Structure 1
């Protein structure tokens, strides 16, 4: 199962900001960017389940979207990230490789939707003077599609317990990631 969160930082500045005295930035959440070279391991899951949690594990992922306008030119950054401090496994010593594959696929689906959003942002010509509501609508639709697919994945695979459906989803997500390789980071 995955926890859905979406970070949207809208920087719609059209003129350079006046020089300011540097201030200490707020600490950022620890995150792991999605990478084909860096699959998740149980040691990445740093949080603990509550007594009410019934799942064996929970993956917290995020699509981090940052946009800006400089001299009326739109730019964006979209990243799929894993949040270790919000993700947990009930007992890593007893957790199966199949469960880890299920959780990894949640992260892969997050990357899939990040690629889809990157694709949309390259296809849609956003006007920096009138960024909203077009940008807001685009990101809300992207988040909604991601959330629906994550829920459908857990439902169809019974949280990874249906091995046949799990293999089907793994194959389909890999095909779709390959189709969008031009939008990988």
Structure 2
């Protein structure tokens, strides 16, 4: 039997005690000391804001940041006093950014029922620390929040954004200033939005909650070529200044109607002043030679009266219940186009049934019908 050969590769566990004994010496030679424990999540505390929100209530907070890894990058407290700063460590808010800020807002600014629901969107929320000479730390807070109104009858509406920040300095051994500085910056954001809402709620049309239309008739008699409808000032043959056209008609009148709106916001309501204009264009209206009779003038006057009746119907369709803050202009325009179509239809029907005034009996029935409607709307007595 051959003798056993010596073990040329002794087990590694035999040198481990030596390496363990040498590790502290290696750290000292390299001039580094192991960092202390990783920072705990930041607990964001409520803040006394000293305000009372009367125009809004925060319904939710949502995190729109592209990177949601953490909120803060903080320099850790070294394990040994006097040791240099280690690299910044990612540190989040307790519960995550959205939940922490949600609880912060709800506890700092109590919710009120019946107010405009606002969603706060986190666009930027970051605390970045860097080492400074003399064992100090410089911190920078950056905050960008968007405030969005969750409208009950429309898509969400972005109202405004807040951009703010702060700087602080602290000893490397004490991170106590981080949370109060962040808290103060967020409190400033809420105070800013409360002030913005207080000023905008009464005057910003986007924040209006209702539309209240009012109407008046334009009855000016100062335009040289435009005669506005006035029940006390009927048509005269002198108003027909256009050149007579050949054909079978005795006369032609050119009536129409329009409206002008002047909105203003008063205590959150759009006060919409609408001026209705029922008019005749004199230069487009004409009468043939020898046709200037009272009967023919009455027929043309009834064309003018029909337009006034159509505007009264238009007026009654444009009510506070039918107009919304978001779309009152488009709703009015649609009703106007429908009324304009109705006007043309009634004018054609009137001429067809009266045979352009040649059927006296039918003309009289239209006279009575038109007068009855004008009295029903209070235009004439």
TM range (shorter): 0.7 to 0.9
Shift of 1:70: 1.8
Partner of 1:69: 263
CA distance in 2, matches of 1:141, 1:121: 12
Q: Does 1:79 align with 2:274?
A: no
Partner of 1:10: none
Partner of 1:176: 373
Deviations 1:113-139 (A, max 9, x none): 121112222365422432243222211
Q: Does 1:41 align with 2:236?
A: yes
Shift of 1:81: 1.2
Give the SS at the match of 2:292. Answer: coil
| Larger strand fraction of residues | 2
Query: Relative to 1, partners in 2 of residues 1:139 and 1:50: Cα closer, same or farther, differing over 3 Å?
Result: same
CA contact (8 A) 2:254 2:282 kept: yes
Moved segments of 4+, more than 6 Å:
none
| Larger helix fraction of residues | 1
CA contact (8 A) 2:263 2:272 kept: yes
CA distance in 1, matches of 2:314, 2:328: 16
CA distance in 2, matches of 1:80, 1:130: 25
User: Aligned residue pairs: how many?
Assistant: 157
Query: Relative to 1, partners in 2 of residues 1:123 and 1:103: Cα closer, same or farther, differing over 3 Å?
Result: farther
With structure 2 as the length reference, what TM-score do the two structures score?
0.38
CA contact (8 A) 2:251 2:291 kept: no
Shift of 1:68: 3.2
Query: Relative to 1, partners in 2 of residues 1:64 and 1:133: Cα closer, same or farther, differing over 3 Å?
Result: closer
Q: What RMSD in Å do the two structures reach over aligned CA positions?
A: 2.4
CA distance in 1, matches of 2:358, 2:291: 15
Shift of 1:59: 0.5
Unpaired runs of 5+ residues, structure 1, are 1-12, 16-27
Give the SS at the match of 1:129. Answer: coil
Which structure has the bigger radius of gyration?
2
Deviations 1:39-97 (A, max 9, x none): 1111110101344x442111011112112322233221112112111111112x44322
With structure 1 as the length reference, what TM-score do the two structures score?
0.75
Query: Relative to 1, partners in 2 of residues 1:73 and 1:169: Cα closer, same or farther, differing over 3 Å?
Result: same
